[in-house]
Amino acid sequence: MDLKESCGSQGSQESSSLHPTSWQAFAHTSTLHGLRFVFPYGQPSARRLLWAAALLACLGLLALESAERLAYFLSYPHVTSVDAVVSSSLVFPAITICNLNAYRFSRLTRNDLYHAGELLALLDVHLAIPQPQLAEPDVLAFLQEKTNFTAYRPKAFSMKEFIERVGHDLKEMMLYCRYQGVFFLFRTTLHIQRMFVSLLDCLIRRKIATII
């Protein structure tokens, strides 16, 4: 009786060792190195504990290094490198000075608004102020004073004279020119040519000073 029971228990142990568990099957088919030694077929041994400790240590180091790199990435590190090079001689640069408004509002006259008010988008086709509620108080007061055309007799209008009188004057916009530590006075001509002649005059004076 006892002999039969002992034989039956040994047979059950042998049959269980021949049929691996799901963890053992997964470990032996996984590409993770060392996992199949943690879940080996057969009885547990000291080798299994050593492989488990080594695998856990490697996973811990991987997690630690990944967390450190992630924290470094989230700190948004950056490096700014600036190199300053001092040159003793430079070619005179091409300079363009522009004003956002082509004409000076303070120089407008009643005759200017009568002839060019619509062109300047200050008046509509009926010589009335468009949307006066949107204008600034001082601008609105100026326009209301200048656009009182009751019994007004318009005078002759010249676009050339208008541009020269109302356009921006370079001598009021630029007071002096200093290039490489040398100061130059400006000479102005007509409104359209002022800027180019003055900058050319500055360049010519700079070259003469260099030659001397």
Among the ranges given (117-131, 146-160, 175-189), the one the predictor scored with the smallest mean pLDDT: 175-189
pLDDT digits (tens, 9 = 90+) for 79-100: 888 888 877 777 777 777 777 7
pLDDT score of 209: 40
Mean pLDDT of 15-41: 71
Selection from 134, 79, 139 nearest residue 105 by Cα: 139
Sign for the pseudo-dihedral over CA of 189, 190, 193, 195: positive
User: Residue 200: what pLDDT?
Assistant: 46
Return the number of other C-beta atoms located less than 10 Å from residue 165's C-beta: 16
Which tens digits make up the pLDDT trace of 130-146?
988 888 899 899 899 89
Say whether pLDDT at 52 is over 70: yes
Reported confidence tier of residue 20, pLDDT bands at 50, 70, 90: low
Question: Of residues 55 and 69, which shows the higher confidence score?
Answer: 69
CATH H-level, domain 104-165: superfamily: acid-sensing ion channel 1 domain (1.10.3590.10)
Q: Give the pLDDT of residue 174.
A: 73
d(CA 25, CA 79): 51
Percent helix, strand and coil across the chain, each to the nearest 5: 55, 5, 40
In the numeric block, the tokens 């988008």 are attached to: 121
Percent of the chain with pLDDT over 70: 72
**pLDDT score recorded for residue 3:** 44
Burial of 92 per CB tally in 10 Å (0-12, 13-18, 19+): middle
CA 51, chain centre distance (Å) = 53
Ranges in the chain annotated CATH 1.10.3590.10: 104-165
Strand-pair category, 177-179 with 182-184: antiparallel
